[in-house]
Amino acid sequence: MKLAVVPGDGIGKEVIPVALAVLDAFGLDIEKVPLEIGYGKWERTGSALTDEDMSVIKECDCVLFGAITTPPDPNYKSVLMRLRKELDLYANIRPFAPLANVKLPCNKKVFDFVIVRENTEGMYSGIEELHENVAYTTRVISRKGSERIAENACSIAKKRKKHITVVHKANVLKSDSFFRDICTGVARRNGISYNEMLVDAMAYDLVLRPEKYDVLVTTNLFGDILSDVAAAISGGLGLCPSANIGNRHALFEPIHGSAPDIAGRGIANPIASILSVRMMLQWMGLETEAQVLGNAVDSVIQKGIVSPDMGGSYSTIEVGNAIAAKVINVP
């Protein structure tokens, strides 16, 4: 197994080495390929991600990715969007369930749902025009893109409650009634029950009644926004992992960005990145290791070894070391 490691910028440079140290504690046979990609590289060289970086990444099976700060250049094209497109990572999988002993902002303590977000088209199609007095972005919803994300959601639902919620804005957008009809058709074909939600109502209900939901499938921008709502009710961005899955490659990253406001202080919460490693272990079929890692994270949180965003006083490295020690000490 060959793993490209891209810490990126800001707190990505702090949390990814810690997550990697936790992975190393398992002693698995994984070849790591470190890559400098991002804002720092753009400042130095004028390019955040070169074609050569891209071919190195394509030779790897998967990527562990931190976060990239967006350079202040109107012509800059998002690195993450390019990676998702060129590696065809069409499914963005984001699980949300409160971890043991984590203080939540609302009184809902029990929920467990997954957001399955289409990751290569929609509002992030990259088809844009900027004129002097008007700007356009083309929202692309294709049959192929909608079918495969709906299939992905159904395959996740088959292992869970056999139900999906299709989230859209079909009352206003024709492209979304197209998306909705394809998703519901795929659900019927798979014997999966479904309901529909308008995205605005979904955002509202997710805060009030998250326990009602199991697998949500939606388009790119809606999934992006709903994920932050879901992260807030789950205890914060520092805790939430994600997987970008394609047929040949996969990329694992925390939901949060490069957090320039706290970068360089050694206080970033590494748990989102460590749980992204856990999703990577699951993708590799290493269920036992994934289980061990999940238990290690729970146990360290229960002991109160947490970073300031969770009310603790431990550093990024201290939290990571405590989790790695739990992994190493498993009998």
Which sign does the torsion angle of CA 186, 191, 192, 197 carry? positive
The first and second tokens of residue 205, run together, are 């209900």
Q: Which residue's C-beta sits nearest to ligand ATP?
A: 257
CB atoms within 10 A of CB 189: 12
Q: Clarify whether 136 is annotated catalytic.
A: no
Which one of 73, 76, 103, 228 is the catalytic residue?
A: 228
Q: How far is the CB of 11 from ligand ATP (least distance, A)?
A: 6
Q: Clarify whether 314 is annotated catalytic.
A: no
Q: How far is the CB of 230 from ligand ATP (least distance, A)?
A: 13
Phi first, then psi, for residue 118 (nearest 5°) are -65, 135
Q: How far is the CB of 63 from ligand ATP (least distance, A)?
A: 17
269, 297, 306 from 322: Cα distances, Å: 13, 9, 10
Q: How far is the CB of 207 from ligand ATP (least distance, A)?
A: 18
Q: Is the separation of the CB atoms in 26 and 330 below 8 Å? A: no
**Is the Cβ of residue 67 or residue 186 nearer to ligand ATP in the bound state?**
67
Which one of 13, 41, 169, 326 is the catalytic residue?
A: 169
Q: Clarify whether 162 is annotated catalytic.
A: no
Q: How far is the CB of 115 from ligand ATP (least distance, A)?
A: 16
**Is the Cβ of residue 237 or residue 292 nearer to ligand ATP in the bound state?**
237
**Is the Cβ of residue 10 or residue 145 nearer to ligand ATP in the bound state?**
10
Q: In this structure, which amino acid lies at residue 182?
A: I
3-state helix, strand, coil in the chain (%, to 5): 45, 20, 35
Q: Clarify whether 90 is annotated catalytic.
A: no
**Is the Cβ of residue 11 or residue 153 nearer to ligand ATP in the bound state?**
11
Which one of 9, 53, 176, 224 is the catalytic residue?
A: 224
Rounded distance, CA 258 to CA 9, Å? Answer: 6
Which one of 200, 204, 212, 303 is the catalytic residue?
A: 200
Q: Clarify whether 169 is annotated catalytic.
A: yes
Q: Is the separation of the CB atoms in 118 and 219 below 8 Å? A: yes
The first and second tokens of residue 226, run together, are 């709903």
**Is the Cβ of residue 7 or residue 145 nearer to ligand ATP in the bound state?**
7
Q: How many helices (H) and strands (E) does the chain have?
A: 11, 12
Residues that bind ligand ATP (CB under 6 A): 11, 67, 69-70, 237-238, 256-262, 268-269, 272, 309
Which one of 124, 194, 213, 314 is the catalytic residue?
A: 124
Q: How far is the CB of 22 from ligand ATP (least distance, A)?
A: 15
**Is the Cβ of residue 145 or residue 235 nearer to ligand ATP in the bound state?**
235
- 294, with CB counted inside 10 A (0-12, 13-18, 19+), is middle
Q: Is the separation of the CB atoms in 42 and 82 below 8 Å? A: no
- Residues marked as catalytic: 124, 169, 200, 224, 228
